[in-house]
Amino acid sequence: MVSKYRSIEEIKEAYDAGQRLFAENRVQALLERHEQLPTDIQWHLIGHLQTNKVKYIAPFIGMIHSVDSLKLLKVIDEQAARNNRVIDVLLQIYVATEESKFGLTEAELTELLEEGSWRNLPYIRICGLMAMASLTESESQIHSEFSEAQRIFQKIKSSYFRENPEFCELSTGMSSDYPIALEHGSTLVRIGSAVFG
């Protein structure tokens, strides 16, 4: 459940109804909320992460959906090691057609995985991929972008993660497009406004 922009009271209400997994897109908000809310909440980061901020979230973050470079993977591994824990991450891929600063193209993702040094990062677990579709009215475009994400996921899984059963998550879909994402193999939908209203 994406809690960004929601008040602490709104999040508490969802918590009291049983929700334990919340996602934020900004490190600062994540830190404040983590501090103010119960410790049994599992926090996910879904927004862009700068390497110099990893140290703040490394002690508690459950999953980072938005990893888009080898450098970031290495910093997460280093900070996870310092905290004596393993951090789950997803690699963010870029399948939208609109301008967006973040996410690896299929070629960049392949290059990162081919390079191989990710295999020597014992304090991270690469659990799958994350993608966002374009913000468009065109359902057929969203279908084609999520279908592209699913194709890349399956190819990467069979090429690099055959021995890694934890590589099983495809984080696609938000309030406006999750039904389409689910048709294309999404295992994690990131829903905010549709539940919070």
Ligand X SMILES: *Cc1c(COP(=O)(O)O)cnc(C)c1O
Provide, rounded to whole angstroms, the least separation between the CB of residue 172 and ligand X: 9
Q: Are 142 and 177 in contact, with CB atoms under 8 Å apart?
A: yes
Nearer to ligand X, 78 or 148 (CB): 148
User: Which lies closer to ligand X via its Cβ, residue 128 or residue 192?
Assistant: 192
Residue number, 25 or 79, with CB nearest to ligand X: 25
Per-residue three-class SS string for 120-143:
HCCCEEEEEEEEECCCCCCHHHHH
Structure tokens at 46: 């879904």
Nearer to ligand X, 63 or 121 (CB): 63
Residue 74, SS3 per DSSP: helix
Beta strand pairing call for 169-171 and 63-67: unpaired
* Closest approach of ligand X to the CB of residue 178, in Å: 8
Report, in Å, the least distance between residue 17 CB and ligand X: 18
Shortest distance in whole angstroms from residue 76 CB to ligand X: 18
Nearer to ligand X, 79 or 171 (CB): 171
Nearest distance, CB of residue 46 and ligand X, angstroms: 4
Q: Is the distance from CB of 99 to CB of 150 less than 8 angstroms?
A: no
Which SS3 state, helix, strand or coil, does residue 87 take?
strand
Minimum distance from CB of 173 to ligand X (Å)?
8
Neighbouring CB atoms inside 10 A of 147's CB total: 15
Question: Are 11 and 33 in contact, with CB atoms under 8 Å apart?
Answer: yes
Residues interacting with ligand X, by CB under 6 A? 2, 4, 25, 46-47, 132, 174-176, 190-194
Is 169 in contact with 188 (CB distance < 8 Å)?
yes
Query: CB-wise, 26 or 151, nearer to ligand X?
Result: 26
